[in-house]
Amino acid sequence: MYRLKTSFFRHLSLFQRGSVISNIGRYQSISHTCDVEDALDEEHKAIQQTAYQFGQTEMAPFMYEWDRTEYFPKDTLRKAAQLGFAAIYCRDEYGGTGGTRLDASIIFEALSQGCVSTAAYLSIHNMCVWMIDAFASDANRAKWIPRLATMELFSSYCLTEPGSGSDAASLSTRAERKGDKYILNGSKAFISGGGESDIYLVMCRTGDQTPKGISCILVEKDTPGLSYGKKEEKVGWNCQPTRQVIMDDCEVPVENLIGKEGQGFEIAMRGLNGGRINIASCSLGAAQASIQKTGEYLKVRKQFGRPLEQFQHLQFKLAEMCTKLVASRLLVRKAALALDQNAKDTVPLCAMAKLFATDACFDVSIKMNYYSY
């Protein structure tokens, strides 16, 4: 009985893959099967189209050059900001766009089809601006959000330290209150935008060793005592600088506290919920672009007298990759909706979306790039 069942299921999966393939054939377009526009309403389709067009005209043609020369495309990012992409889910009082997490997911997925690395930095910037919008005083919101929304100012998120990664709450950067200043001492590692950003949201310890002893403090570049490590050499994502951010008796005005003392860890974690969805969305874009390029390649490239798309093994692989992409996209968009609606299972959903989508889409990109090498 057991043997019968397993053989049935083995054949069932082949049949299902076959049915995905025949559907691809029927629509004659892979992008229809893994359609980014699936189940989106008119407004979201319009958002997707504008972000996609922007990515294709302003990012895709330069992506290779940017990566090769390690160029941080600030002017392109400022153009994206003009479309409202720099403060997507911030309230519109001080220049935010007033959009939703789903809008953001659609935008980052579309931009990533142009350049993943740049889109990923933009998503980090969005996360930082939101943290200020959601938790800072009205004075701080009025002071910082307008210039962050236009990307006159660039921002970075500083949580990880050389000694605390997964155990983020054990961070050791200290902020001592002295009169009307905080004195910061410590270092943050692997900070995206480090050295280029104008403001740094630094999670630091103002109180005890528990998570409730952590605060979020805004440090402006050029503050005396603030310095950066060397630019990290990375395998990819080179158009986004990554550096250590070092604070040595760095004096910051007390007004730069975001939210309340002791609220820093909550701010950091809630920022990351959205950050996970954004990063997962960037992975979706990379996978979508990979599948599309591969689909075209399979039609054109011939070996053994036939175009590659006629080989069953490759058809199966393509069907699996499309399935992974669609599944990832569903999970990411569900997490985005949950966050917008403040649902009870928001946090695990965001984590699941990030976990599943980045793994699945990494797999897709590797396999698809293998075929179109």
Of the candidates 7, 10, 22, 45, which one interacts with other proteins according to CB under 8 A?
45
Contacts of 92 (CB under 8 A, 6+ apart): 98
Contact set for other proteins, span 270-309 (CB under 8 A): none
Binding-site member from 17, 59, 94, 99 for other proteins (CB under 8 A): 99
What number of chain residues touch other proteins (CB under 8 A)? 25
What is the rounded distance in angstroms from the CA atom of residue 109 to the CA atom of residue 288?
9
CB 193 within 8 A of CB 240: yes
Least separation in angstroms between CB 142 and other proteins = 19
Q: Could you say which of 22, 29, 312, 341 contacts other proteins (CB under 8 A)?
A: 29
Q: Which of 82, 209, 312, 341 binds other proteins (CB under 8 A)?
A: 82
Q: Provide the CB-side half-sphere exposure for 48 (13 A, CA).
A: 17
One-letter identity of residue 259: G
Q: Which are the contacts of 83, defined by CB distance < 8 A and separation ≥ 6?
A: 50, 51, 54
User: Which residues in 239-268 contact other proteins (CB under 8 A)?
Assistant: none
DSSP secondary structure letters along 176-197: EEETTEEEEEEEEEEEETTTT-
In the region spanning residues 101 to 120, those forming contacts with other proteins, defined by CB under 8 A, are 103, 107
Of residues 12, 14, 25, 43, which one binds other proteins by CB under 8 A?
43
Asked if 31 touches other proteins (CB under 8 A), the answer is yes
32 binds other proteins, rule: CB under 8 A: yes
Q: Which two tokens stand for residue 294?
A: 């591969």
Q: State how far the Cα of 174 lies from the Cα of 185, in Å rounded to an integer.
A: 5
CB of 277 to other proteins, least distance (A): 17
Residues near other proteins (CB under 8 A): 27-29, 31-32, 42-43, 45-47, 49-50, 53-54, 82-85, 88, 92, 97-99, 103, 107
